[in-house]
Chains A and B, each alone.
Chain A
Amino acid sequence: MSPRPRPQFPFSAIVGQDEMKLALLIAAVDATVGGVLVLGDRGTGKSTAVRALAALLPEMRVIVGCPYACAPGAPQGICDVCRDGPEKRHRTALVPVPVVDLPLGATEDRVVGALDIERALAQGVKAFEPGLLARAHRGFLYIDEVNLLEDHIVDLLLDVAASGENVVEREGLSIRHPARFVLVGSGNPEEGELRPQLLDRFGLSVEVSTPSDLALRVEVVRRRDAFERDPKGFASAWAAEEAKLRRRIAQARRRLDEIVVPDGAIEQAARLCMALGTDGLRGELTLIRAARALAALDGEKEVSLAQLRRVAPAALRHRLRRNVLDETVSTTRVDRAIAEVFEA
């Protein structure tokens, strides 16, 4: 039986969960924000939202046949196709932005890439077979149940996510190729804790819970039911909304570089991070970048306090030093600090 992918639930049809949707949109506008972590109860539509994002993203231009999806302006010159450097004119094509799933139980060779065994056995050629990291380049790498991922795979990811480059030294191969992707993880904290190093790698972290409002819940069930019964019809009913959102993302991407970040905003971000005692500068950087992406999405010309305020919980809540004997939820601490710093 041939695989027949199920149509995706449309992103714009997701009821509520505004913080999660916003974080994913911000990551879609500015990949340098550094990934999104979605933690929450079961049955809150975490995976639905991430997989829906794949269908929403504007297409990207690549060199035809390049296994690393090089952009036409910047070929890496590591595969047979774009070896000749930037001078050569390549055939290009528009392809969907990859949203690559890292399934649980994936083995190391499939993640980083390995010797192409078929060619090695049949032709005696030492060739590299790119792995999931190569496929996710310029796109998204999605890990569902990220807290259940095996430790040795987590180690690989940490290194690549930090450097943007995958270095393979195995079976006599020595390959390095770019692997810049937005890491998206989702999980249920009750299933196990996330390693602190991995937690820190995510730019934004959002917490989702099921809506407690009956009317909202009824609407979620109704839409989901309509989708299950007629996926194609449901998708076409939402096509206009999806197209609108897609245009908004594309426009925000174009305008991102023009957004002004005033010194005042940077100072406010720094003061907030100091008040919360976050480690390092990654918190400030992420906060500013996320606020800038949000300003672009909102059609603003410069970053203001309003954007900082909206993205601060997602950008900072996972960077707080955990006091094991303090029961206060991180979100509450961030909210309190926002009130103190921004209203002072």
Chain B
Amino acid sequence: MREAATAAWEDAMLAAALLSIDPAGLGGAVIRARPSPVRDRWLAWLRGLLPPGTPLRKLPLSIGDERLLGGLDLAATLRAGRPVAERGLLAEADGGLVLVPMAERLSGAIAARLASVLDRREVVAERDGLALRHGATISLVLFDESAGEDETCPPALVERLALSARLDAVALADATLPACDPAELARARASVASVTVPRDAIEALCATAVAFGIGSLRAPLFALAASRAAAALAGRSVVAEADLAAAARLVLAPRATQLPSLQGDEVEEATDDQPLPPADTLETENGSDRNPGPLADLVIAAALAAVPPGLLAAAGSGGPTRATTSGRAGAAKTSVLRGAPLGARPGTPGGSGRLALFDTLRAAAPWQRLRKGPEGSDSGPRIAVRREDFRIRRFRERSETTTIFVVDASGSAALARLAEAKGAVELLLADCYVRRDRVALVAFRGKAAELLLPPTSSLVRARRALSALPGGGGTPLAAGLDAARALAESVLRRGGTPVVVLLTDGRANVTRAGTGGRDIAEAEALASARELAAMRLSAVLIDTSPRPQVQAQRLAAAMAARYVPLPYADASALSRVVRSAQPWRTAERAA
């Protein structure tokens, strides 16, 4: 454990050094670390490595476009009587670093703007009547402070940052600082562009990326840049094996979506879902992949040693490793929908309305001559703005709905009508798709509840998860409700609006601890239901028992859910019920 922590720290230090040598070529780094003395020490070290005078900016999550990209300088505009532009944070950070703490909470909209600046190395904005273009060669350091698997940094941004390191398992005692020679770093910085790469090195990096199931071609390019920086750091003029191994650890391993199989059969897998290349290139592909060469083997081995442990488990179980990707994608979409600007309208600033400066000036502009009074009187202010000129910004407040289906797959329900329940859920799924909702699926049977499908907008995946759902076993209702509550909380954290749809007959007979006992199980289920009710979510309980049951009705009352017995509900009625559960009232909490 101690050794692993030391290795992680050393890799993080190496990442900092490489970043200081070629910040623009590498784009930046994702550092998984919560605020801690270790993180502070890493950051201080990184600062020490950078040439003196390098701009270093911290990006607050709440930043608006006018500060991020640039906009109107209020004081200068009013003084001069004409629009005066002001550079934004990204332009100010030109040639330096931008630090993003709590990057997992970064909105998709800001992430997209950052990604565009990384790609183009300049800030381009068209806003407030200004066309802004500023050179902005920046590199980003994202601090990923996510708590669980359901939170991740915006994938569009992570894709554009070469390096990754983890500090979460490093103790302060392990975080020792080596000596650092500024002259040596300056020399590395000067020589990095002239480092040459052996011919087979690019093949080795590409083969490694393919072996780990990394589709994007940015990954091998970044790995190449990282290996050059590593060679420059070591004072070499040609990239050596050790540099490629370092690049594989820091760039390729964190992006792995699968583990290399030594038989080379992953190529066949990979071509399955992609258009087949022409037959002649296919030959060479298989040939070159089966014998990737000794260098590729070495790089693959280096990357393999650094693959995060969580990924191993996912790949080993054959589970869909793309699951988290879809979750992230949904999160990005939520943030874009929420708070999207809608243009300005007349109103008074203060309270909830923010002054739209430019629109206000524009509203005032046509009246300036009249308001100045007789020609030549210079006593008044340069621009006369009156109350009726005020324009305030409007934002769209709708937040995305995630419908959480909690399906009872226990023996009692299965005997009754699991198939019918599945059919009902499928129809509701189609309905959610039409409304662009996201859906999640929790099932409970036997001793525990299981999250079959994290929030997604992919209907195909939802259907697959549902049809693969087996029935039978006890009814751990409390566990199912707890799982639904945990999921609802995570949806709320991302700014979405959860709706819980529970399909059960309400006959709990397994306790949270996984033991039998109808009385305790029912008491626990009611308690869980009340906890769910305390979240004031919209909820629907669909009673799947052949005859409406008093238990289910009691449960519905406890969780403040609408009660709908399935026998009386056809597909369209079900759809109406779920739609009517759209809780616009919870939007202000999400905002």
Instruction: Tell which of B25, B82, B221, B343 touches A221, judged by Cβ atoms closer than 8 Å.
Output: B221
Contacts of A84 in B (CB 8 A): none
Closest to A51 in B: B120
B370 to chain A, nearest CB (A): 9
CA distance A45 to B217 in the complex (A): 9
Number of A-B contacts (CB under 8 A): 207
User: A191 contacts B332, CB within 8 Å?
Assistant: yes
How many interface residues does chain A have, given as a range? Answer: 35 or more
Question: Is A122 a contact partner of B219 (Cβ separation < 8 A)?
Answer: no
Specify which chain B residues have a CB less than 8 angstroms from the CB of A225 in the assembled complex.
Answer: 197, 202, 221, 224
CA distance A132 to B224 in the complex (A): 38
Q: Which B residues lie within 8 Å of A229 (CB)?
A: 193
The one of A43, A105, A188, A224 in contact with B219, judged by C-beta atoms closer than 8 angstroms, is: A43
- Give 1 or 0 for each of B117-148: 1 = CB within 8 Å of chain A CB: 00111101111111101110000000000000
| Least distance between B256 CB and chain A CB atoms (Å) | 15
Asked whether A129 and B127 contact (CB < 8 A) given A212-B271, A220-B217, the answer is no
Given the known interface contacts A1-B135, A212-B274, the answer about A103 and B116 at a Cβ–Cβ threshold of 8 Å is yes
A1-25 residues with Cβ-Cβ distance < 8 A to B are: 1-6
B546 interface contact, C-beta 8 A: no
Any B CB within 8 A of the CB of A108: yes
Q: Judge if A209 is at the interface, Cβ distance under 8 Å.
A: yes
* In the complex, chain B residues whose CB is within 8 Å of the CB of A222: 202
* A114, A190, A210, A212: residue with the most chain B Cβ atoms closer than 10 Å: A212
Contacts of B531 in A (CB 8 A): none
Complex CA gap A94/B109 in Å reads 38
Interface residues of A in 99-124 (CB under 8 A from B): 101-111, 114-115, 117-118, 120-122, 124
Does A217 belong to the interface (CB within 8 Å)? Answer: yes
Stretch at the interface among B311-319, B359-367, B581-589: B359-367
Distance between Cα atoms of A274 and B129 in the complex (Å): 47
Instruction: State whether the Cβ of A280 lies closer than 8 Å to any Cβ in chain B.
Output: no
Report whether B109 and A104 are in contact in the complex, using a CB–CB cutoff of 8 Å.
Answer: yes
A340 close to B (CB within 8 Å): no
Bound CA–CA A213/B207 (angstroms): 10
Q: Which of B129, B221, B224, B289 contacts A114 (CB 8 A)?
A: B129
Given A191-B329, A325-B463; A105-B457 close (CB under 8 Å): no
Q: How far is the CA of A118 from the CA of B358 in the complex (A)?
A: 11
CB-CB under 8 A from B25, the residues of chain A are 228
Chain A residue at minimal CB-CB distance from B278? A213
- Known contacts A1-B94, A148-B108, A148-B109; A217 and B217 CB within 8 A of each other: yes
Given A120-B366, A191-B329: A209 in contact with B135 (beta carbons within 8 A): no
Q: A3-B135, A217-B210 in contact; A42/B156 too (CB < 8 A)?
A: yes
Residues from chain A with Cβ under 8 Å of B119 in the complex: 47
Q: Does B294 contact A (CB under 8 A)?
A: no
| Best-surrounded residue of B121, B130, B215, B365 (most CB of chain A within 10 A) | B365
Q: Contact between B112 and A148 (Cβ–Cβ < 8 Å)?
A: yes
Q: Cα distance A110–B69 when bound, in Å?
A: 15
- Does more than half of chain B's interface fall in helix, strand or loop, or is it mixed? helix
Among the 9-residue stretches B334-342, B347-355, B493-501, B512-520, the one with 4 or more Cβ atoms under 8 Å from chain A is B334-342
Provide the residues of chain B in CB contact with A2, threshold 8 Å.
135
Give 1 or 0 for each of B204-228: 1 = CB within 8 Å of chain A CB: 0111011000011111110011000
Q: What is the minimal beta-carbon distance from A230 to any residue of chain B, in angstroms?
A: 9
Q: Choose one: A105, A122, A188, A193; the contact of B127 (CB below 8 Å).
A: A105
B297 CB-CB contact with A under 8 Å: no
CB pair B108–A43 under 8 Å, yes or no, is: no
The answer, yes or no, to whether B282 is at the interface (CB within 8 Å) is yes
Query: Of A3, A43, A324, which is within 8 A of B159 by CB?
Result: A43
Q: How far is the CB of A282 from chain B (nearest CB, A)?
A: 23
Number of interface residues of B (CB under 8 A): 91
Expressed in whole angstroms, the minimum distance between the Cβ of A111 and any Cβ of chain B is 7
Cross-chain contact A151 with B340 (CB below 8 angstroms): yes
- Interchain CB contact under 8 A, B116 and A41: no
The B-contacting residues of A in range 138-196, CB under 8 angstroms, are: 144-145, 148, 150-152, 171-172, 188, 190-193
Q: Per a CB cutoff under 8 Å, which of B112, B127, B277 touches A106?
A: B127
> Which A residues lie within 8 Å of B326 (CB)?
190
Tell me if A5 and B221 are in contact (CB < 8 A).
Answer: no
For A344, list chain B residues within 8 Å (CB): none
Stretch at the interface among B97-105, B164-172, B430-438, B553-561: B430-438
B365 in contact with A120 (CB, 8 Å) = yes
In the complex, the answer to whether B277 meets A211 with C-beta atoms within 8 Å is yes
Q: Are B113 and A215 in contact (CB under 8 A)?
A: no
B65 neighbours in A (Cβ, 8 Å):
105
Query: Is there a chain B Cβ closer than 8 Å to A44's Cβ?
Result: yes
Q: A42-B159, A150-B341 are in contact. Are A114 and B362 (CB under 8 A)?
A: yes
Residues of B within 8 A of A216 (CB): 277, 281
Taking CB as reference atom, which chain B residue is nearest A101?
A: B124
Q: Does B34 contact A (CB under 8 A)?
A: no
Note all chain B residues with C-beta closer than 8 A to A107.
126-128, 341, 343
Taking the closest CB of chain A, its distance from the CB of B122, in whole angstroms, is 5
- Expressed in whole angstroms, the minimum distance between the Cβ of A177 and any Cβ of chain B is 17
Does any Cβ of B come within 8 Å of A281's Cβ? no
A232 at the interface (CB under 8 A from B): no
Question: What 0/1 pattern do residues 242 to 253 of A give for CB contact below 8 A with B?
Answer: 000000000000
Q: Would A110 and B112 count as touching, CB distance under 8 A?
A: no
Instruction: Give which listed residue, A126, A129, A145, A325, contacts B129 with CB less than 8 A.
Output: A129
The residues of B that contact A102 with a CB separation of less than 8 Å are 126
* A115–B82 CA distance with the chains assembled, in angstroms: 13
Contacts of A121 in B (CB 8 A): 81-82, 361, 365, 368, 383
Contact B363 A41 (CB under 8 A): no
**Closest residue on chain A to residue B269 by CB atoms:** A212
Known: A3-B122, A107-B127. A218 touches B365 (CB 8 A): no
Decide yes or no: A1 and B205 within 8 Å by CB, A103-B116, A217-B217 being known contacts.
no
Could you tell me the distance between the alpha carbons of A4 and B270 in the complex, rounded to whole angstroms?
Answer: 40
Tell me whether B135 and A221 are in contact (CB under 8 A). Answer: no
Please, how many angstroms separate the alpha-carbon atoms of A133 and B144 in the complex?
Answer: 39
> Residue on B with the closest CB to A15?
B217
Instruction: Find out whether the CB atom of B125 lies under 8 angstroms from the CB atom of A105.
Output: yes
Render B250-286 as a binary contact track against A, CB cut-off 8 A, 1 for contact. Answer: 0000000000000000010011001101000110110
Taking A42-B216, A117-B83, A212-B270 as contacts, is the C-beta distance between A325 and B366 under 8 angstroms? no
Determine how close the nearest CB of chain A comes to the CB of B247; give it in whole angstroms. Answer: 13
Can you name 6 A-B pairs with beta carbons within 8 Å?
A: A6-B121, A107-B128, A109-B129, A191-B333, A212-B270, A216-B281
B residues whose Cβ falls under 8 Å from a Cβ of A: 25, 65, 69, 81-83, 94, 108-109, 112-113, 115-116, 119-122, 124-131, 133-135, 155-156, 159, 193, 197, 202-203, 205-207, 209-210, 215-221, 224-225, 267, 270-271, 274-275, 277, 281-282, 284-285, 288-289, 325-326, 329, 332-333, 336, 340-343, 358-359, 361-363, 365-366, 368-369, 383, 396, 426, 430, 433-434, 436, 457, 459-460, 463
For the complex with contacts A192-B333, A221-B220, 10 further pairs of A-B residues with Cβ separation under 8 Å are A107-B126, A145-B112, A148-B109, A150-B342, A152-B343, A212-B267, A215-B284, A221-B202, A221-B221, A229-B193
